[in-house]
Amino acid sequence: MTLVETSLLEEPFCRPQPTETPVRAPAPPTRERGGARDVVAPLPADFRLASGERLNQSSVVGRIHGRAGAPVVVVAGGISAGRFVHRTETNGLGWWSGAVSVRGPIDLSRFQVLSFDFAPGSEPGGSAAPVTITTQDQARLLALLLDHQKVDRVAAFVGCSYGGMVALAFAELFPDRADQLIVVSAAHRAHPQATAWRGIQRRILQFAVDAGRPEEGVALARELAMTTYRTAEEFDDRFDSIAPAAAGDNYPICDYLTARGQAYRTHTTPARWLSMSDSIDRHSVTPEAITTPVTLIGFTSDRLVPIDDMRELAARLPTLWRFVEAPSLYGHDAFLKEDAFVGDILRTAFKDIKA
């Protein structure tokens, strides 16, 4: 893999073993053997979002993996990710077990990893109406969770996609609460083309809700989203263009997208999808206001977070430690697929942390 790097660090890499990790839906809080446990922080009665709205939930739920008493690393992913970042007995494969594991790039024998469920939640009985929530709101909720755990400062905040946006917002709001940020496939703003795609997804979903077919709307919106996560080159490699027997029948790639949409129908609610999709497009931070040291990782094939936006972010950050960009067949989803490449950079970033 050819990469371009702007860096103040010049350490060698170690290769982790690649593994593919699916995203899982949120589940009720649990406790189990092996050190993994859920933590629940109640929301203050007067907690309001930046919009002035209230959340229809009473708490923020996180999950801690790793060695008790070790330095804390926050890990956050895309809007479909949650607190189950690492495989355990109860939740199976986590959404990023390729990075978060014992002796992995984010080593659970050295660190405690805190992951959390973004608000609004998607639990049964949740709000039927979307809320206007920002990445700064998510950062404030994380701060409440850290306060509840009596953690004043974390060794690192690793954020991918939406989680990277939240990491930037967290550093802007709380400059003294993280030693470093590692931001993957996220920038300081949403690109208008990506907003256009997500806007179409939201209108599809709203149309389906108005028609009384909300689950179909979720599935269709997810199908369209999948076409923006990956690259044309990957689809060309994976699918042929043999025509079906009749007009209206599915082409091979359509069968794939239909399956992905159907699998996602019970993963979220229409209100949560609309809230989270809008939150991405509402994201905005001022790079010059971020004083926490930052490592940036971007992919030149990412259409949702164009590499030029990450280059601009890198140029404007006053405390950039390192900026690495590379090609990938997988576009925006590269952070879930390029485990060895991303793992190298994570290992370097964590090398000198005393655990």
How many Cα atoms sit within 13 Å of 114 on the Cβ side? 30
Here the tokens at position 23 are 């995203």
Task: Please tell me whether residue 113 adopts helix, strand or coil conformation.
Answer: strand
Instruction: Compute φ and ψ for 90, nearest 5 degrees.
Output: -95, -30
Q: Which of 302, 333, 339, 344 is catalytic?
A: 302
Q: Do 342 and 335 contact (CB within 8 A), yes or no?
A: yes
Q: How many CB atoms lie within 10 A of CB 340?
A: 16
Say if residues 119 and 138 touch (Cβ distance below 8 Å).
yes
Cβ pair 101, 17 in contact under 8 A: no
Using the structure block, give the residue that is written with the tokens 């030693």. Answer: 179
In the annotation, is 332 catalytic? yes
Q: How many CB atoms lie within 10 A of CB 233?
A: 14
> CB of 105 within 8 A of CB of 193?
no
**What amino acid is encoded at 189 in this protein?**
R
Cis peptide before 120 (omega within 30 of 0): yes
* Residue 188 annotated in active site: no
CB 302 within 8 A of CB 159: no
From the candidates 332, 333, 339, 344, give the one annotated as an active-site residue. 332
Active-site position among 161, 185, 279, 301: 161
The question of whether 191 is a catalytic residue gets the answer no
Q: Which secondary-structure segment (H or E) carries 272?
A: helix 270-282
**Rounded Cα gap, residues 38 and 162, in angstroms:** 22
Decide if 39 contacts 61 (C-beta within 8 A): yes
For the annotated catalytic residues, the residue numbers are 161, 302, 332
